[in-house]
Amino acid sequence: MRGRWIISECDLEKDLKEILEIEKCFGKSGWTHQMFVRSHGKSDHTCLFVAKGRERNRVEGYCAALIVMEDLEIHRIAVRQAGRRQGVGSALILDTLRRGAVKGAKNAFLDVRNSNVDAHRFYEGLGFRIASRRQNYYSNPREDALVLSRSIKVLKADNGCDTVKL
Ligand SMILES: CC(C)(COP(=O)(O)OP(=O)(O)OC[C@H]1O[C@@H](n2cnc3c(N)ncnc32)[C@H](O)[C@@H]1OP(=O)(O)O)[C@@H](O)C(=O)NCCC(=O)NCCS
Could you tell me the pTM of the whole model?
0.93
Separation of 86 CA from ligand 1 center, angstroms?
9
Q: What is the pLDDT of residues 3-48, one digit of tens each?
A: 689 999 999 999 999 999 999 999 988 999 999 988 877 777 899 9
For helices 88-102 and 117-125, the axis angle rounded to 10 degrees is 50
- CB-based contacts of 55: which residues, under 8 Å, 6+ apart? 4
158: exposed, middle or buried (C-beta count within 10 Å: 0-12, 13-18, 19+)?
A: exposed
Domain 5-165 superfamily per CATH: Gcn5-related N-acetyltransferase (GNAT) (3.40.630.30)
Ligand 1 pocket, residues with Cβ under 6 angstroms: 25, 77-79, 84-90, 112, 116, 118-119, 121-122, 125
The structural domains of the chain, with segments of one domain joined by +, span: 5-165
| Distance from the alpha carbon of residue 122 to the mean position of ligand 1, in angstroms | 5
Grouping H, G, I as helix, E, B as strand and the rest as coil, residue 117 is helix
